[in-house]
Amino acid sequence: MPVPEADDARLTEISAKKLNVLVTGGAGFVGSHLCEFLIGRGYYVFCLDTFQTGRASNLSTIGHNGRLTVVQHDIKAGIPDDLPVFSEIYNLACPASPVHYQADPVSTAMTNSQGTWNVLCRAERDNARVFHASTSEIYGDPEVHPQSEEYWGNVNPVGPRSCYDEGKRFAESLCTDFGRTRGLAVRMARIFNTYGPRMQEDDGRVVSNFIIQALLGRPLTIYGDGSQTRSFCYVDDLIRGIDLLMHSDVAGPVNIGNPAELAVGELAQLVLEITGSKSTVLHMPLPVDDPRRRKPDITRAGETLGWRPLTELREGLTRTIAYFDSELSKQARPSSGTPGPRLRAASA
Ligand code: NAD
Ligand code: UDP
């Protein structure tokens, strides 16, 4: 993605001090865009990832000039001692798609609890600033619409989404108390449904599913009657929001999402229209505890960060469709053998 302007003083400091930053979950969809952005800013980026839902190939295509080190490592096991001192830590490690976070729910819960604790302890040791990726899922199946940061949510603590929803709620609590009682600078974004290039094809999320199905001429799988709503944010807008939030003094959670709300059935029609696909739609059972409505109130992000999304859904979907189209056609061709980032063995 293009790197937006940063003030000259900050860019000079980054380049003069050779600042190291850690991105957990950096090989995932959002993490790879964040690594690319940070490298563009001149940081030395260290990515820790299990590759549970991320891929090294997400990082192999980004220009890194030797500034990227990828370590296969699980944050539940701590942060490796032999990595350098970090000035900033971005904690994104956690599968985000319901299919994947429910595949090993205990691991998801522990990544958000033990893993986040490990990240915060390392940040305290390094005196690093922390960004934590929280989620709109902390609002559960919301009874308030749109959702503002003041709303406490409606989460089933024992449902199939609980490992993620409650895990992220606990992580917010832990981050808040590290800030409140131990003076750590922690910034938290409640990220609403985000989409864009480098989503996994088999991620199970609605945008990637519909695009792949449309491109392959398969039926688009609408769960339930398709009247449930979501609000989709293009990944470049999210990354800009993360950067603004990380370098702000806003201590509480901030919603980052696009308030343009639409029904899942409408999304299916839009994908069919843009791709020109002749696919049909297939209605399937609605998953348990699937939220009925979701739309961020982004007043706080606007007032405190001057942030708002800039990418219209149609434009973002068109770019995402072009990405998946190219990925599908590449699969028929042999690999180009492009050299990737330095990949290190994990250490405890
Ligand atoms: P993703 O699944 O593509 O990426 C998550 C990455 O974390 C993957 O590369 C995965 O291998 C890695 N990972 C998982 N557990 C790990 C562990 N224990 N140790 C190290 N690495 C681990 O998901 P994403 O969409 O890129 O989401 C990134 C973050 O943003 C997540 O924390 C997610 O909860 C949050 N978020 C995303 C969205 C969205 O719509 N994409 C919405 C809300 C919140
Ligand atoms: N969904 C759907 N078809 C799919 C995948 C998802 O209708 O192939 C629905 C899902 O039930 C939910 C919405 O789309 O109502 C968004 O699902 P996703 O998994 O992308 O995100 P989340 O539920 O976490 O918001």
Residue with tokens 């995932």: 28
Average pLDDT over residues 10-32: 87
Ligand 1 atom closest to residue 52's alpha carbon, by position in its atom list: 11
Q: What percentage of the chain exceeds 90 in pLDDT?
A: 88
> What's the pLDDT score for residue 8?
66
> What's the pLDDT score for residue 174?
98
Inform me whether the pLDDT recorded for 22 exceeds 80: yes
> What's the pLDDT score for residue 136?
97
Average pLDDT over residues 266-293: 97
Going along the chain from its start, the domains and CATH numbers come out as 17-334 (3.40.50.720)
Active-site residue list? 164
Q: How many A from CA of 94 to the centre of ligand 1?
A: 4
CA 194, 199, 202, 203 dihedral sign is negative
Question: Confidence class of residue 347 from pLDDT cuts 50, 70 and 90?
Answer: very low
CB 235 within 8 A of CB 29: yes
Question: What is residue 344's three-state secondary structure?
Answer: strand
Inform me whether the pLDDT recorded for 283 exceeds 70: yes
> What's the pLDDT score for residue 7?
65
> What's the pLDDT score for residue 348?
27
Question: Confidence class of residue 333 from pLDDT cuts 50, 70 and 90?
Answer: low
> Ligand 1: which residues within 6 Å by Cβ?
24-25, 27-31, 48-54, 74-76, 92-96, 111, 115, 133, 135, 191, 193-194
More confident residue, 65 or 40: 40
> Ligand 2: which residues within 6 Å by Cβ?
97-98, 193, 205-206, 209, 221-223, 228, 230, 264, 286-287, 290
Segment holding 188, helix H or strand E: strand 186-191
> What's the pLDDT score for residue 64?
81
The preferred substitution site among 134, 191, 223, 270 for testing ligand 2, maximizing ligand atoms within 8 Å of CB, is 223
More confident residue, 61 or 307: 307
> What's the pLDDT score for residue 65?
84
Q: What percentage of the chain exceeds 70 in pLDDT?
A: 91
Average pLDDT over residues 107-112: 98
Average pLDDT over residues 257-285: 98
Which ligand is nearest the CA of 135, by number?
A: 1
Q: How many A from CA of 206 to the centre of ligand 2?
A: 5
Rounded CA-CA distance 272/217 in Å is 10
Average pLDDT over residues 148-175: 98
Average pLDDT over residues 136-161: 97
Ligand 2 atom closest to residue 99's alpha carbon, by position in its atom list: 19
Kindly report which listed range (11-20, 72-81, 111-120, 158-167) carries the lowest average pLDDT score: 11-20
Ligand 1 atom closest to residue 164's alpha carbon, by position in its atom list: 34
N- to C-terminal Cα separation, the chain = 33
Query: What is the average pLDDT value for the chain, to the nearest integer?
Result: 93
Strands 88-91 and 68-72: unpaired
* CA nearest to 67, candidates 40, 27, 34, 96: 40
Task: Give 128's DSSP letter.
Answer: -
Q: How many A from CA of 93 to the centre of ligand 1?
A: 5
Q: How many residues does the chain have?
A: 348
Question: Confidence class of residue 340 from pLDDT cuts 50, 70 and 90?
Answer: very low
Kindly report which listed range (55-69, 195-209, 292-306) carries the lowest average pLDDT score: 55-69
Average pLDDT over residues 85-103: 97
Question: Confidence class of residue 5 from pLDDT cuts 50, 70 and 90?
Answer: low
178-219 pLDDT per residue, tens: 999 999 999 999 999 999 999 999 999 999 999 999 999 999
211-261 pLDDT per residue, tens: 999 999 999 999 999 999 999 999 999 999 999 999 999 999 999 999 999
Question: Confidence class of residue 3 from pLDDT cuts 50, 70 and 90?
Answer: low
